[in-house]
Amino acid sequence: MYALFKRHLTLQSVLLGGLLLLLLGLSGCNYQSKKRSHTLKIYNWADYIDESLIPEFEQWYKEQTGEEVHVVMQLFDINEMALAKIERGKEDFDLVCPSDYIIERMLKKDLLLPIDTSFGTTPNYLHNISPYIVQTFDDLSTPTHRMSDYAVGYMWGTLGILYNPKFVTRDEALSWSTLWNPKFKGKIFMKDAIRDVYSLTMIEYYAPQIARGEISLVDAMNDESDEAIAIAEQRLKAVKKNVAGWESDFGKELMCREAAYMNVNWSGDAVWAIEEAAQVGITLDYTVPVEGSNVWFDGWVIPKYAKNRRAASYFINFMCRPESAIRNMDEIGYVSVIATPEVLESRIDSTLEAYIDLSYFFGKRADSVQVDPIQYPDRTEIERCAIMHDFEEKTPQLVAVWSRVKGDNLHIGWLILIGTTFGSLLLGHLIRRTRKKRRMERFWQRQAFTPEEEE
């Protein structure tokens, strides 16, 4: 009888304990769910936003919606790595900022939600985006999905050559073929970006046919035939002797220390490097080779499994405000897709000699303006650029080529990086100080008074 009572008591305890755990679990799930509904998880490139905008967005979002939101930012440095995480779906990101061809693949694979533009009484700032950007995005549409419904531009630019004029002439830097010149053995940093490097390689290979009009630039850089991939592998293995390191971010800093003569880089990083190198007495410059290049675009997309679609859409809208765009550009050096008069005015520099035709981006009012030609390419330069497309089923083949190409000198970049750590830390300290100082100078320049006048 006692044994029966004991067994019954034990069973009752187990049931009660299980019920208690279940209730606690449900309570915890409810708490987590509630907490998650007020969290915005963003997956972005490193050093790709003015971080002071984050708390301002949180406050702005509460003012606009009456709801609390907390932004959590995670970082990536390679497009394909970001895509892999999105495809696996183990991270419930609400917002991601990949590049054009990756967005194209996401759209084809039905991985995205359309952008919700129901902002109520909040202005829709998405209309501030340049029509040039919207049209370029829509060129990546699928038969059933228009790209501009699923992606909103953020930053854009060109791929080119960041170089040190002390060691490389401008004429040399104006041709991709210079990367293969034995004169620069071990003196080039190459981007660890499969599609970008593949594109420039095919442009270099097809340059004579492009010049004769036998093949278009866009077809050349997006040739995914087996023959083209084999040629690219051969050409990349040939350039390997000149490569000091394959880098995704550190090249621009090491160029400021003359650790290499050239760096295949994006225009935004080139602007950053040119400004920072000048602070330590080093001159750098940037070109888009005459054979042509790719013009790239990064944009905001909302993954299909996003938990906070509303906050994600509001964040995109917030980033499209002219003041957000200007501050981002001041901070990171890249160029915003926003094309309002305020943005154009903030970029005018009357000390520059060249007048640039930006009518394709800002409209007729900008057919001859004094702006940084690295940030905003002239119409003639844009006309010799094209956008990269997704390689779809050929991507694994391309990845295998990339792995074989980098092969045994993959470690060289890391050795350079380790060997210059102390110098980079010192340089980084100087850079942070000068960047902060310049941000304040730009701020006061946009005001009607100077700090002294205010006093």
Q: What percent of the chain has pLDDT over 70?
A: 82
The model's confidence at residue 350, banded by pLDDT at 50, 70 and 90, is: very high
Quickly count: other Cβ atoms within 10 Å of residue 324's Cβ: 22
The predicted pLDDT at position 29 comes to 46
CB 364 within 8 A of CB 344: no
Nearest Cα residue to 152 out of 332, 330, 336: 336
* Residue 386 or 8, more confident: 386
The predicted pLDDT at position 429 comes to 41
- 223/245 Cα distance (integer angstroms): 26
Instruction: Please provide the average confidence, as pLDDT, over all residues in the chain.
Output: 86
The predicted pLDDT at position 77 comes to 86
pLDDT digit string (tens) for 87-110?
988 789 999 999 999 999 999 999
- pTM check: above 0.85: no
- 356/14 Cα distance (integer angstroms): 77
Q: What is the mean pLDDT of residues 200-209?
A: 98
Nearest Cα residue to 97 out of 142, 53, 153: 153
Look up residue 189 and give its two tokens: 């940093």
Nearest Cα residue to 198 out of 25, 452, 402: 402
Q: What is the mean pLDDT of residues 3-12?
A: 40
pLDDT digit string (tens) for 408-444?
554 444 444 444 433 444 444 444 434 444 443 433 3
Quickly count: other Cβ atoms within 10 Å of residue 207's Cβ: 19
- Quick check: 23 pLDDT over 60? no
CA angle 347, 298, 356 (to 5 degrees): 30
Nearest Cα residue to 96 out of 111, 109, 108, 110: 111
The model's confidence at residue 248, banded by pLDDT at 50, 70 and 90, is: confident
**Cross-strand partners of 286:** 162
The model's confidence at residue 37, banded by pLDDT at 50, 70 and 90, is: confident
Domains (ranges, CATH) in the chain?
A: 37-155+298-336 (3.40.190.10), 157-296+350-444 (3.40.190.10)
Between 14-28, 389-403, 404-418, the lowest mean confidence (pLDDT) is in: 14-28
CB 188 within 8 A of CB 261: yes
- 300/44 Cα distance (integer angstroms): 9
The predicted pLDDT at position 10 comes to 43
- 131/126 Cα distance (integer angstroms): 11
In degrees rounded to 5, what are phi and psi of residue 216?
-80, 160
pLDDT digit string (tens) for 309-333?
999 999 999 999 999 999 999 998 8
Look up residue 455 and give its two tokens: 């006093």
